[in-house]
């Protein structure tokens, strides 16, 4: 399906009243020079254009039509346009899938009516093509005609309107709102926009994507064309996870899962609208940054401290100046200043362009990936700013002589007016507004990927039909043990007498737990007894627990753990199965120490996730304690991944919490497991002998 006629029309039709008239006005304001036709059954004219009573009466078939009519009429109009061979339509009307079942059925009618003709929306604000002067947009906007710039895709029309009003010096080439995404989600639009050489980068502001695998292919296509993609995810709300029982689902959260998925694709994730705009400015002017190393120049120790603190929060670094360049900087500053990065060059060289250039040139000429000049311009209505531009000129000279990427960062956004931002951009300097959003943008610009790559593979997102089943703990462990996971030796007992006999076989110490269908969180209901060291203790514990459940699980207790982790699987309705690693036990939900990986994950990704955890020092031998069995831990993760690959369509959620990592050479043991599946596990897996810890 080609989107060329829809997004770059040579002729436009508008159908409807007030909003249609606004589209005509905005097209004229943005400079559209092609024919515009109007359709209305009763009006003589719309925005000064003579109306045709029916679509079929138009003198030619339009490339793109803006439909400002009710939902039912929209369906009829789309059918007529498709039959005429039109290039596409924008459906403004609400009343479709966003309203419930009846609206969803009407949306399906819309899709059938469209046939092969692309339709943007419905419930959609339209789009702005500032490269070709097209404004299928029923409202005011702040965009202007440009020769090149960035593209923005937004699910929200109102957010898109606000983004067009930015005064940050960002050239907006295309702004597209998606609405309900009935036919056109971000994937085909990314593919289309990436093919336009005038578009430098693509920003996304979305609640959801259209299709995981197609989206991955679209991003890979953009990367092949050197077009970086950055994304701001809007919260989808808790509905998708309300039925979850495991810690994995609550710990991962939709934002972490989406970030892990997007990062696998090379899409940088941003958490605020200002940072999204700032990142797009960097990508527009300099492209992706090769790394996270910065040089910062300011005439204030306070600003240097602010930048250093904020950079640490965003994972950015300030490499020290090499001795030769440090000497050159010190000489230019007459040895009055302590030379370090971030550099406070003081004010005695202020408004002296040549002296500033002598300071800036050796400071910038190193290994940094981006040079920052911290500069807050004074108010033009009350102050003069000539000295500030002197600093800019010296900084621009230094960047040019070193071939370095440069940015001017205002600590307060209001201290970088739009005209100044445009002036800086014209000089090849990124105008960054605000410390936090600016540094978040730098981190994202360093994380985005453009190198050509094939789209990564993921486990199927399809889910089997059937009834959800929560397995009791022991059958769940036996199933997982069949894939190589080590579990404690244990027995299910139904009486104190059985418990005494089982304890004699298992040995001590033991753990006793409630066991039965539907029991998810045993500790919260007082259903766990630890450290049972003789038959009397076992008998008393089992007697208590049988009052809470029909059976009791007795297992060998692991006492030599180095660290406790959580290892789990979750299912996201948008992205499919994912793996979670983190600090486990009672700390799982308290310390927020976790990492998420899409599946399948490589060994390098798993090892990287483990290195990112705050619990890592315990695994490596903290303060004289023995190091953990990392090889066994990696094998446990591999076992869970094998299980995920074998049972992908049936897995809903899995918690192994805790997975106890023992000293090196002694293994890693899954001492608790919660597993929810579609239907029952296959009997062949139930019969496999579990691998038990010694």
Distance CA 448, CA 168 (A): 21
For residue 479, the surrounding DSSP H or E stretch is helix 473-481
Tokens of residue 453, six digits: 């790559």
Residues 6 or more apart whose Cβ sits within 8 Å of residue 586: none
More confident residue, 690 or 686: 690
On whether the CB atoms of residues 542 and 528 are closer than 8 A, the answer is no
pLDDT at 430 (0 to 100)? 98
Residue 379, burial from CB neighbour count under 10 angstroms (0-12, 13-18, 19+):
exposed
On whether the CB atoms of residues 558 and 660 are closer than 8 A, the answer is yes
Give the mean model confidence (pLDDT) for residues 178-194: 96
DSSP summary character for residue 592:
-
More confident residue, 524 or 500: 500
What is the per-residue DSSP string for 525-568?
Answer: GT-EEEEE-SHHHHHHHHHHHHTTSSEEEEEEPP---SEEEEEE
Name the band, by pLDDT with cuts 50, 70 and 90, for residue 23: very high
Q: β-strands 370-374, 343-344: how paired?
A: unpaired
Distance CA 548, CA 14 (A): 69
pLDDT at 452 (0 to 100)? 74
The owner of tokens 């003579």 is 50
The residues that bridge with 174 in the sheet, in sequence order, are: 129, 151
The most confident of the ranges 26-35, 331-340, 616-625 is 26-35
Domains detected in the chain: 1-124 (3.40.50.720), 290-404 (3.40.50.261), 489-556 (3.30.1490.20), 563-692 (3.30.470.20)
Distance CA 249, CA 257 (A): 10
Distance CA 677, CA 659 (A): 20
Asked whether the predicted pLDDT for residue 624 surpasses 90, the reply is no
On whether the CB atoms of residues 640 and 579 are closer than 8 A, the answer is yes
Distance CA 450, CA 471 (A): 44
Share of the chain above pLDDT 70, in %: 94
pLDDT at 243 (0 to 100)? 47
Q: How far is CA 65 from the centre of its chain?
A: 33
pLDDT at 543 (0 to 100)? 95
For residue 480, the surrounding DSSP H or E stretch is helix 473-481
> Average model confidence (pLDDT) for the chain?
92
Per-residue pLDDT tens for 552-587? 999 999 999 999 999 999 999 889 999 999 998 766
Asked whether the predicted pLDDT for residue 1 surpasses 90, the reply is no
Asked whether the predicted pLDDT for residue 215 surpasses 70, the reply is yes
More confident residue, 537 or 591: 537
The owner of tokens 């036996």 is 478
Name the band, by pLDDT with cuts 50, 70 and 90, for residue 636: very high
The owner of tokens 């049936």 is 650
Give the mean model confidence (pLDDT) for residues 269-296: 96
Q: Is the preceding peptide bond at 600 cis, omega within 30 degrees of 0?
A: yes
CA neighbor of 431 nearest in space, from 167, 202, 226, 142: 167
pLDDT at 240 (0 to 100)? 42
pLDDT at 585 (0 to 100)? 77
Give the mean model confidence (pLDDT) for residues 656-682: 89
Cα-based distances in Å from 642 to 138, 154, 459, 638: 52, 38, 11, 6
Per-residue pLDDT tens for 425-484? 999 999 999 999 999 999 999 999 877 778 888 999 899 998 999 999 999 999 999 999
Distance CA 118, CA 189 (A): 11
pLDDT at 593 (0 to 100)? 86
Share of the chain above pLDDT 90, in %: 83
CA neighbor of 252 nearest in space, from 633, 575, 476: 575
* Range list of H helices, 139-185: 157-164
Name the band, by pLDDT with cuts 50, 70 and 90, for residue 161: very high
Tokens of residue 334, six digits: 């007459």
On whether the CB atoms of residues 463 and 665 are closer than 8 A, the answer is no
Give the mean model confidence (pLDDT) for residues 229-239: 73
Distance CA 342, CA 304 (A): 6
Asked whether the predicted pLDDT for residue 683 surpasses 70, the reply is no
DSSP summary character for residue 523:
G
pLDDT at 241 (0 to 100)? 47
Distance CA 278, CA 433 (A): 7
Name the band, by pLDDT with cuts 50, 70 and 90, for residue 250: low
Per-residue pLDDT tens for 47-66? 999 999 999 999 999 999 99
* Range list of H helices, 12-70: 18-30
pLDDT at 242 (0 to 100)? 47
Per-residue pLDDT tens for 114-160? 999 999 999 999 999 999 999 999 999 999 999 999 999 999 999 99
pLDDT at 586 (0 to 100)? 66
Per-residue pLDDT tens for 307-346? 999 999 999 999 999 999 999 999 999 988 899 999 999 8
Tell whether the torsion through CA atoms of 647, 659, 524 and 241 is positive or negative: negative
């Amino acid at each position: 399906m080609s989107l060329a006629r829809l997004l770059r029309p040579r002729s436009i039709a508008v159908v409807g009243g007030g909003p249609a008239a606004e589209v005509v006005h905005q097209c004229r304001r943005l400079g559209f020079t092609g024919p515009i036709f109007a359709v209305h059954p009763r009006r003589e004219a719309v925005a000064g254009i003579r109306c045709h009573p029916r679509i079929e009466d138009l003198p030619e078939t339009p490339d793109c039509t803006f439909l400002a009519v009710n939902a039912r009429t929209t369906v009829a109009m789309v059918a007529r346009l498709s039959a005429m061979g039109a290039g596409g339509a924008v459906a403004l009307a609400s009343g479709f899938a966003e309203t419930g079942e009846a609206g969803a059925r009407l949306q399906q009618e819309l899709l059938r009516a469209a046939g092969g003709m692309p339709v943007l929306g419905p419930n959609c604000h339209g789009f702005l093509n500032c490269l070709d002067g097209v404004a299928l947009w029923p409202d005011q906007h702040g965009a202007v005609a440009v020769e090149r710039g960035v593209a923005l895709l937004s699910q929200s029309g109102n957010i898109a309107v606000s983004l067009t009003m930015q005064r940050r010096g960002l050239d907006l080439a295309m702004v597209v709102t998606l609405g309900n995404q009935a036919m056109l989600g971000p994937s085909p639009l990314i593919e289309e926009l990436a093919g336009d050489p005038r578009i430098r980068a693509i920003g996304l502001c979305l609640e959801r994507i259209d299709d995981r695998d197609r989206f991955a292919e679209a991003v890979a296509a953009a990367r092949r064309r050197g077009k970086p993609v950055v994304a701001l995810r809007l919260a989808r709300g808790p509905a998708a996870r309300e039925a979850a029982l495991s810690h994995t689902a609550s710990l991962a959260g939709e934002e972490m899962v989406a970030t892990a998925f997007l990062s696998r694709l090379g899409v940088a994730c941003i958490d605020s609208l200002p940072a999204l705009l700032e990142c797009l400015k960097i990508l527009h002017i300099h492209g992706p940054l090769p790394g996270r190393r910065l040089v910062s120049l300011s005439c204030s120790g306070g600003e240097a401290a602010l930048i250093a603190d904020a950079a640490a929060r965003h994972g950015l670094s300030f490499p020290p100046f090499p001795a030769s360049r440090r000497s050159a900087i010190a000489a230019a500053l007459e040895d009055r200043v302590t030379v370090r990065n971030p550099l406070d060059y003081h004010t005695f060289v202020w408004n002296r362009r040549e002296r500033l250039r002598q300071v800036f040139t050796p400071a910038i000429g190193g290994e940094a990936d981006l040079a920052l000049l911290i500069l807050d311009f004074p108010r033009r209505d009350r102050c003069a700013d000539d000295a500030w531009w002197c600093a800019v000129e010296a900084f621009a000279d230094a960047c040019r002589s070193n071939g370095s990427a440069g940015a001017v960062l205002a600590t307060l956004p209001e201290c970088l007016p739009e005209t100044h931002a445009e002036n800086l951009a014209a000089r090849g300097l990124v105008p960054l507004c605000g410390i936090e959003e600016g540094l978040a943008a730098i981190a994202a610009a360093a994380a985005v990927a453009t190198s050509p790559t094939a789209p990564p593979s993921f486990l199927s997102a399809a889910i089997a039909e059937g009834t959800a089943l929560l397995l009791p703990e022991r059958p769940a462990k036996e199933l997982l043990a069949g894939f190589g996971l080590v579990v404690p030796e244990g027995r299910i007992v139904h009486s104190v007498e059985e418990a005494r006999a089982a304890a004699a076989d298992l040995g001590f110490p033991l753990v006793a737990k409630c066991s039965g269908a539907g029991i998810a969180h045993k500790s919260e209901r007082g259903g766990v007894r630890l450290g049972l060291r003789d038959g009397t203790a076992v008998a008393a514990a089992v007697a208590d627990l049988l009052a809470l459940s029909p059976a009791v699980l007795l297992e060998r207790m692991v006492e030599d753990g180095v660290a406790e982790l959580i290892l789990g699987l979750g299912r996201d309705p948008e992205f499919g199965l994912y793996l979670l690693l983190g600090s486990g036990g009672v700390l799982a939900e308290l310390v927020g120490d976790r990492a998420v990986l899409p599946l399948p994950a490589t060994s390098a990704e798993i090892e990287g996730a483990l290195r990112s955890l705050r619990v890592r020092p315990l695994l490596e031998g903290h303060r004289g304690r023995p190091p953990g069995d990392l090889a066994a831990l990696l094998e446990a993760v591999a076992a869970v991944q094998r299980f995920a690959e074998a049972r992908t369509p049936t897995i809903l959620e899995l918690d192994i919490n805790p997975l106890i990592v023992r000293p090196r050479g002694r293994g890693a043991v899954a001492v608790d497991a919660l597993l929810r599946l579609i239907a029952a596990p296959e009997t062949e897996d139930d019969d496999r002998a579990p691998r038990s810890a010694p």
